[in-house]
């Protein structure tokens, strides 16, 4: 196993690893993914530039059960992000609709369902502490949509440090 990929837990059905930044969790087009390197089945994904724990199934039955658990919000997903900006209220529950734009590879958050393909999103954000010139937040996506955290934070003026897609481009250059 790659030295940057740490195995956290394994049994006969499940593998949990710490995924470093810079590697894709899974993809049908890319053969250089964590899923393919480890010979396992991805149950969920983290963005390429996100590090954290990823759960993999070691058989189809476990994959089906874990996917159902994710779909029914039985898995508690908690993230931390270093951001530019601050909340006026904490914790804050954000609700809206996410629309994918396949051409740009980005998503957009709207307050109203103004597109037939819009999917509801809900994210809970909590201020943890200042961290130098930035602030550290705990984020709990109650739905699991593509780029949900990055886009939802960006929609309220919080941008994740180093996020080139939804972040504050001027601040990231400093």
2 has a pLDDT exceeding 80: no
Which residues contact residue 35 at a Cβ distance below 8 angstroms, ignoring those fewer than 6 apart? 25, 26, 41, 42, 56
For the question of whether the overall pTM of this predicted structure is more than 0.85, the answer is no
Average pLDDT over residues 17-33: 90
Residue 133: predicted pLDDT: 87
Q: Which domains does the chain have, with CATH numbers?
A: 6-71 (3.30.70.580), 79-173 (3.30.2350.10)
- The per-residue pLDDT for range 67-118, each reduced to its tens digit, is 999 988 899 999 999 999 999 889 999 999 999 988 888 999 999 898 889 9
To the nearest 5 percent, what fractions of the chain are helix, strand and coil? 15, 35, 45
Long-range contacts of 56-64 (CB under 8 A, 24+ apart): 56/14, 56/15, 56/16, 56/17, 57/13, 57/14, 57/15, 58/12, 58/13, 58/14, 58/15, 59/13, 61/13, 62/13, 62/14
Token pair recorded at residue 27? 């993809």
Write down the catalytic residue from 2, 11, 47, 168: 47
- Tell me the per-residue pLDDT of 146-166, one tens digit each, with 9 for 90 and over: 899 999 999 998 999 988 788
Closest CA to 132 of 164, 78, 87, 84: 84
Our answer to whether residue 47 is catalytic in this structure is yes
What per-residue confidence (pLDDT) applies to 79? 94
Q: Determine the pLDDT at residue 1.
A: 46
- How many residues appear in the chain? 174
């Amino acid at each position: 196993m790659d030295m940057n990929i740490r195995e956290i837990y394994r049994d006969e059905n499940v593998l949990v690893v710490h995924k470093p930044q810079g590697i894709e969790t899974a993809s049908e087009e890319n053969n250089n993914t964590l899923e393919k390197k480890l010979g396992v089945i991805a149950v969920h994904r983290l963005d390429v530039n996100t590090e954290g724990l990823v759960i993999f199934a070691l058989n189809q039955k476990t994959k089906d059960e874990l996917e159902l658990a994710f779909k029914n919000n039985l898995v508690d997903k908690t993230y931390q992000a270093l951001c530019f900006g601050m909340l006026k209220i904490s914790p804050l529950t954000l609700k809206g609709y996410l629309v994918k734009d396949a051409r740009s590879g980005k998503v957009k958050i709207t307050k109203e369902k103004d597109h037939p393909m819009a999917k509801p999103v809900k994210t809970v954000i909590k201020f943890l502490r200042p961290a130098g010139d930035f602030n550290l937040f705990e984020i709990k996506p109650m739905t699991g949509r593509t780029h949900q955290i990055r886009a939802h934070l960006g929609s309220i003026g919080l941008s994740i440090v180093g996020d080139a897609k939804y972040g504050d481009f001027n601040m990231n250059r400093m």
